[in-house]
Amino acid sequence: MAVTRLLLRLQPTSTRSAASVERVARDHPPAAPVPPALLRVAHMTTRSIGGRDVITLTPKQGTTGTQLLYTHGGCYVFPLLPVHWRIIATLMRESGATVTVPLYGLAPEHHVDEAYALLEGVYRGLAATGSPVFLAGDSAGGGLALGQALRYRDVGLPAPAGVVLISPWVDVTMANPDIRAVEPRDPMLGVAGFVAAGAWWANGADPRSPLVSPLYGRLDGLPPVSVHQGGRDILAPDALSLVSRLREAGNDVSLEYLPGAFHDYVGAPWTPEARATLRSIGRVLRA
């Protein structure tokens, strides 16, 4: 983990400033394709909902019937990357779940309302199968996973079986004063870029509204939530605050907190910490 942190510091950080994020957002590359290694162990189907691709991967062996709706991270401006497919492939192997991955539109061209319209359509279809449906996501995708749980509770849809949050981004304002103290120790992320991307994503709405920043939502009456968070991550202070608020609201919450881990550390499978966390999530999905 320490060696990987050092290597990450050698990489350019596109979220250090609003200008650096804007340069990336001007020309979104396409989402990374499903890797051949994953296609060897899973059947893939792709359908379109509202003009957005939705990819579903079902294990060829050992499927349990559980459904996992996974929303990828990327600060709402970066597309799905090969690292996300690595995470998804490992979760599928560890859990036997069928994984559905909606390729939601990215900011600044697209925004929060469009994403939830797409995700609700996907979720309604999965819930109609009668199988257990989990919501999961990393970083911005973690914010979407939690926001979905709030939305579906409020509109009376069947509750998901659980929510899995990996390094979740749950407050786009980044207003927590503890964040600035973490930033020098974060080898990957910058506060200014996240604030700019969050404003684009809100698209003029209150950035503290629950679907944009679910940390500020009403948090009672949710399914079990598991949070997996590293300490060298500017999103850690809000993730810890979320866990406290979820517990205060009477929810079943588990926290795996690794002080030396960086943002989305589960995407580094060469580290024992990442492998242990993905096995732990797999057990949650099997349960």
Distance CA 81, CA 100 (A): 16
Distance CA 271, CA 77 (A): 27
Listed in sequence order, the residues at least 6 apart from 137 whose beta carbon sits closer than 8 Å to its beta carbon are 70, 71, 72, 73, 143, 144, 145, 164, 165, 166, 168
The DSSP call for residue 68 is E
Out of 14, 95, 139, 213, pick the active-site residue. Answer: 139
Distance CA 18, CA 153 (A): 34
Tokens 């994503």 map to which residue? 201
The DSSP call for residue 78 is S
Dihedral sign computed on CA atoms, order 3, 9, 14, 16: positive
**Burial (Cβ within 10 Å: 0-12, 13-18, ≥19) of residue 171:** buried
| Active site (annotated) includes residue 139 | yes
The torsion defined by the Cα of 174, 176, 181 and 182, in degrees rounded to 10, comes to: -60
Listed in sequence order, the residues at least 6 apart from 51 whose beta carbon sits closer than 8 Å to its beta carbon are none
Catalytic residue positions, numbered: 139
